[in-house]
Chain A
Amino acid sequence: MTLSQETSQAPASSDSTAVALDKVNFSYGRNSAPVIDIPHWHVNAKEHVFVSGASGSGKSTLLNLITGTLIPQQGTVTLCGKPFSEVSARKRDKLRATHIGVVFQQFNLISYLTVSQNIAAAAYFADNPSNDIDARIRQLLAALKLPESILRAKASELSVGQQQRVAIARALVNEPELLVVDEPTSALDASARDIFMSLLRENARDSALIFVSHDAALASHFDKHTDIASLNQAGATV
């Protein structure tokens, strides 16, 4: 890579930084305008950050870059000290499996698998030994105030609120350093949203959390609030 690691801000040491972006530039097509152009941004370990932004401002794109699902045309994304650009696609998938938990807006679960299978699948791809997984899953369900009886239920049989809570359990099963959450409450009503937010915050205490939403009202639940426009030079021009 031709890019130097020097940044305008003091580079955080890798053990206290969950994720760091440097001179990241991303566009969907070769000829289209960049959606993301971030000189530098990092999230510290165990830090909970709320990123707000209008629809179409590039929030989901940013999360795809952070999880290594998308690769920026320029710049470096570093997860727990490991730059994505320096590892193979396979390693990138493995890094995501082991270090990141993901919750999206809806359809977080594979509908035809049971709740237990959905969570176990996440453990499987992270090479998490399956013998302690059962206990871990039960513990998570209890923490998320879900009855154990839903373990055998198909994901498609749950309410949307339950699905989102199972999604948190799934995201947390490997005890990831970073939790990435994309508008998880937009399909929930107000009370389900409040339950979700408090359960998320409680259970994500040991992880860094990047939470994106267009709903700035949720900002009160977080340590830090950033608007994507302030990070994103590209966003500023959109």
Chain B
Amino acid sequence: MITQIAIASLRHRLGSVLLTLFTIVISVSLLLSVEYVRGQVRDSFTRTVSGVDIIVGAPTGQLNLLLYSVFRLGNPTNGVNWNDVAWLQTHPQVDWLVPLSLGDAHKGFRVVGTTNGYFEHFKYGDKQPLSFASGGHFVADTSAVIGAEVATELGYAVSDEIVVSHGLGDISFQHHDAHPFTITGILAPTGTPADKAVYVTLHGIESVHASPSPGRTLRRTAITKPGNDDSTQASQDDAHDTHRHEDDEQHHDHDDSHEHELHEESHTEHDNDSATSTLSEAQPESVSALLLGLKSRVAALQLQHQINNYDGAALLAILPGVALKELWGLMGNVEKLLLGISVLILLSSLIGLITLLLATMRERRQEIAVLRAIGAGPATILWLVQAEALLISAVGCVFSIALVSAGLSLFSEWLNASYGLIVTGSLFTQATGIVIVCVMAATWLCSFIPAIAAYRTALHTGLSGR
């Protein structure tokens, strides 16, 4: 009956109720979207990398290393000398090792020099491996694999040729048409920075660096156990396109039996195909970062300690999970600010709601007198006013959820395209539930202001409504 009266009372004041409802829908929608996107950002954040136990790089800072190795943001400050990390290949705890060579770009997309091991070992989200939407991994030194977004944005397909420019500028004046890469594979979308990268072989990136920019030289060394160095110091500083084939052949004859599995990866599918395969095992003088997978994650802390205290050179080893948390801690402040603003907007719309209800108090004296006469206690009248406030908010929440759901399904593509945000799942998450509960609780608390006014009116109003 109370609800019935409350509904009738609200319908009676439909005009002002609708306006108030409108402000509540706007503010709750805002709050829901912010909270939702916040959750999604955090998700896609922590989804960026998984299955990598340790990242090794030059000693910068753990955030810096994380940012350039995983998020492909910022510039890698220094490379790590290969000889300083070669020992990790044979470390008993190390399961696999993927080198990354960064610092170049293709039409605004970051270029990552790496090995086929990257496609096998790098994981994102809930330990999901990378997969190819079309094509496959590197088959030659001039192979390139592109992320899903690169493919869609630049309209590339497998077997297209691309050119990598030296440096990170969007438009580089140093196009090296002499060293085109051929796309061999396109990765399936992941919703992570992996979509926005062009992957080339380590050898390929050396060629880019080698010719016209004297800053970086390359020394080609086969990735072998340290003891085998002698067999692979073949071609060095003058590596040019013309040399590549020689190198490749040289390495194909190489005996794999004692090689680290890193080689095996690059070889597995091409050993029987050596006539056409021209994928070398060359390694650069230095790499930007190394991704390590361990045989047992338990050893991560211990190995991190070991790397950080390595005598041979200054190295930095980070645990991605820990670094992600720290990074999120920083980013979280911006999110919190957004959330704070939305909460304030919600508050102002609730104040609007209170004002609406307070404004009706004068005209409600009569109504309160009638209710008192038929035996409604002041507590009932208090509750009636609160019920009205809660009804408005509840309807507002329902509309907001509908609005935000519709908005998300409309804009999910755009969000993905513009911000790499993969909007997954529905809005019916725990976070949404918490927002709704908070909105209703806030409404209930705020409604005490007009409700107590009504209560006092009820106490002091005689039967005639005076």
Contact = CB atoms under 8 A, between A and B. Distances in A.
Interface of A: 60-61, 63-64, 67, 69-70, 89-90, 93-94, 96-98, 102, 104-105, 107-113, 117, 120-122, 124-126, 170, 180, 182
B366 A107 contact: yes
20 contacts: A60-B462, A60-B463, A61-B462, A64-B463, A67-B463, A93-B376, A93-B377, A96-B375, A104-B373, A104-B464, A107-B366, A108-B373, A109-B370, A110-B371, A112-B9, A113-B5, A121-B1, A124-B1, A126-B374, A182-B464
Size bracket of the B interface: 20 to 34
Contacts of A122: 374-375
Contact of A117 (B4, B367, B463, B465): B4
Given A60-B463, A64-B463, A112-B8, A126 B375 contact: yes
Nearest to B11: A112
B372 A110 contact: no
Given A107-B366, A110-B367, A112-B12, A60 B374 contact: no
Which 4 pairs, one residue from A and one from B, show the smallest C-beta to C-beta distance? A97-B375, A112-B12, A125-B375, A93-B377
Contacts of B366: 107
Interface string B1-43: 1001100110110000000000000000000000000000000
B379 A90 contact: yes
A28 to B, nearest CB: 10
B376 A69 contact: no
A173 to B, nearest CB: 9
A182 B464 CA distance: 8
B371 to A, nearest CB: 7
B464 to A, nearest CB: 5
Nearest to A114: B8
Of A67, A69, A109, A126, which is in contact with the most chain B CB atoms at under 10 Å from its CB? A69
Contacts of A117: 4-5, 8
B246 to A, nearest CB: 93
Contacts of A67: 373, 463
Contacts of A125: 371, 374-376, 380
A67 B61 CA distance: 79
B12 A111 contact: yes
Given A96-B375, A120-B1, A124-B1, A110 B370 contact: yes
B463 A104 contact: yes
A13 B366 CA distance: 36
A102 B374 CA distance: 7
A217 B1 CA distance: 40
A108 B375 CA distance: 13
Contacts of B369: 104, 107
Given A112-B11, A113-B8, 6 more contacts: A63-B463, A104-B464, A111-B367, A112-B12, A122-B374, A125-B376
A64 B466 CA distance: 11
A123 B376 CA distance: 11
Contacts of B378: 89
Contacts of A108: 370, 373
Contacts of A90: 377, 379
B136 to A, nearest CB: 72
A112 B464 CA distance: 18
Nearest to A173: B374
A152 to B, nearest CB: 13
A60 B466 CA distance: 10
B5 A121 contact: yes
Contacts of A111: 12, 367
Interface string B284-308: 0000000000000000000000000
Nearest to A89: B377
A102 B8 contact: no
Contacts of A70: 462
Interface string B377-395: 1111000000000000000
A89 B374 CA distance: 14
A98 B375 contact: yes
A156 B202 CA distance: 84
Contacts of A112: 8-9, 11-12
A67 B369 CA distance: 12
Given A89-B377, A93-B375, A126-B375, A69 B370 contact: no
Nearest to A94: B375
B122 to A, nearest CB: 65
A69 B373 CA distance: 8
Given A107-B366, A113-B5, A97 B464 contact: no
B152 to A, nearest CB: 57
B124 to A, nearest CB: 58
Contacts of A60: 462-464, 466
Contacts of A120: 1
Contacts of B373: 67, 69, 96, 102, 104, 108
Given A60-B462, A113-B5, A121-B1, A69 B372 contact: yes
Contacts of B11: 112
B280 to A, nearest CB: 85
A53 to B, nearest CB: 15
Nearest to A65: B462
Contacts of B371: 110, 121, 125
A204 to B, nearest CB: 16
A94 B375 CA distance: 6
Contacts of B464: 60, 104-105, 182
